Structure 1
Amino acid sequence: MKRLSPQADTDIHLLLTATVFVVFMGYGSLLPVLAPFIEHLADNGRRSVSWHAGMLMGAYTLALSAFAPICGRLSDRVGQRPILLVGLAGYVVTLLLFGLSLTLWQAYAMRIASGLFAAAVLPVTMAFAGASRPAALRARRFAWLSAASGLGLLAGPALSGITTRTGAGSGGADQWHVALASPFAVAAILGAAAWIALFLRLPRVPMARMPAAPDAARVQSTLFFLVLLLMFGLGSFEVAIGLRAQRFLGLPPAAISVMFMECSLVMIVAQIAVFWSPSSLLYGPLLTTSGLVAMAVGMALLPYSDSYLAQAGLIGVIAAAAGILIPVLSYRISRDAGDNQGRALGKSVAAGNLGQAAGSLAAGVLFDLRPELPFWLGAGLLVSAALAAARLAASGVALRANEKGRG
């Protein structure tokens, strides 16, 4: 197989990083405007708003979870280029149409379609990074993909905060609708630019072949389980914290945007820091278990934070732990996968988004029953994940990749 030049290889991974940024920017744009977006389309009271908040977020992640394994397997069979280009094109169109939705049912349809097409983007970009050699380069590229997702989650709420602040002063329903749709339009335009660049530069040749780790079958199911529980806690956190900030702290969308921006920024710093640390630290049981415990403690204490400052501190703890754990688990799955990068990472994305969808749905429903319930449930499941990670380490299978002879 003809290999790309180092410069061409670097350029392609920069484009893939930009693609991940666009996908998460579209996702993050909805977080701070979720409640007012629903209220604008259907004014059915607070219970309806919280219920639809969980459902809208869950619909996207559930669709992504259902189709990521399928798209991952297809990319292994027919190549990464066609799957990625079709997925990004579909995501751009459905993201734009979501912002222009006139009814809640239109919004649901476009949200589900966006999740379907995102399922064709995320596993393939991760598979490209997973095929990089040597191991140090592979680790850095996973770090940048993770940082790009965090930057997208940072830029999305920032855009939403600016546009809603402008639209709130207009006084007109049409102007408010335009303000709500603007961040999705910006993300769609950036996505179209990324699609053109990928169409021109993305190679048609398959990725380099790699051997699978000898212990992959033994640990893969446990790693998927850890990803599932981790993302359940994160999905529950994202929906519940936005609803709590609006209802109990009285924060406007712009202030909620700042809160989510802080979360993304902390995640980015944590992701980059851990991947520039010695590789022996990346998969140690102490790092994985302590990160899950830190998230659980933060989730359990959040319902009792009565000030913006206290809430911001706990959000920082949760974000730092999640920022470390998400790429560490994904990278380990990729390194064990060998030639089945798309299939393994598709399953990882599916597990993560299934957990995130379940967490979002649960938070929307449980918040109306008792506002503390989403936080308590998320904390309990994260403790279960920490116990599973500790049991895996105790069984003699280390949570770090076997570096000998690989990359």
Structure 2
Amino acid sequence: MSLLGKVLAILNLLTLLAAGVLGAMVYAQRQNWTHTIFLANLYLEGLPVDANETDRSGSPIASRMGPATLMAMFGTADTPSTQEGFVKAMASDLIKRIKDEADPVKQMALVRVYAQPLVNEPGEWEDFIAMMNASDTRSAALLALGYVCTPVFSEHSLPTAFIKKDRVIDLMGSDESSSSKAPGDYIPGDMLLADNAVFEKLSKKGSPAEIATWAMLAKLDLMFDSAGVSLVGAEDKQAQMPGADGTAVPLDPRTRKLATARLLTTLGLAGNQATDQVAKLVTVVGPRAFLNAMENEAGDLRALNTEIEFRLKQSMERFVARYGQAIDTIKSLDIEHRRLMSELDEIKKLLDMQPMLLEERKKNLERLEADLKKKRGDSDSLFQSLQTGARSLYQKRRELQGLVDQVGQLEKRARQLELR
């Protein structure tokens, strides 16, 4: 090979090396850019609902989420990579805490934190509070069945007025009941209320607190089923809700994701609304789903508040209509009461001043007695001086009388001498 050929071969080799290095740099940059876009989509849409959710290209999202991705999103790789994983962790934690707590009252308080946010009707709230405060097991059982058979808030056709059959079977044990033989996975509320065997079995639980805990868990069953996680009975199944006849109806991926976001948002903030918990939930479900769940919950609260205000207004109108005359009498009595209280205050002031007035009068009396004593001493001295003066005047008068007698005798002698 000539010298020129050798030079050209070396140049071609260098060109290939440069192209390879440049291609590697471009590929690495592209990978970084692709991962950045992937992270941005996760932050926007939230975690995949389960391991089967795919992106627009049809690739499973969860399979692309390695420890580095979880570390970037949550600051730790020891965390579920799907929303279903977070729901399972929440369910496992709830069940474990219930089993670890032996006191039925504390169990009831623990489950109440999760069940209370599901209440969105004034009537249901009244049943809920009455069930918590029931004094005996039969009253608690009756209230619990009424509470279970009220609708769960309807989020994308979520179940209303149903109970999971596994919950009833778990309650009944070896005993039979007509409702536990229902063909579907769920029992309609009217069938449950008509089943006296369930009521009798429930009323034989150890305490009203145990009955309330059972009812709240039955309510939570429907929420967790919509996310594909089971709190009782068989292992986790598909995300489902009861149909009109109680059969399980699978949820499509979009509805399941919305229902899962509602569950995680509502129950995830129950008892823990710290900033880091809110930020974590926003990352898990995505800001749009989180905002949608918050708007739905706010709508429920507004409706509840409107209903409460309406009831208060009606109660006030009925109260005024029934007790209007009594109210007027009470107002007039209130005016008279205020007048009497004002007079009483004046009397109290005078009574409070009485000791001071008595003390002042006592001092004045002592001063007058001292003045009187002094005047009396002066009067005695003056009287004595007057007596002395009177005696002196009397003596002077006698002396003058003697002089008058002497003058008379002298006049008499003078006349006698003149006659001679």
Give the structure with the higher percent helix.
1
Higher relative contact order (CA 8 A, sep 6+): 1
TM-score over 0.5 (shorter chain): no
| TM-score, normalised by the number of residues in structure 1 | 0.22
- Bigger Rg over Cα: 2
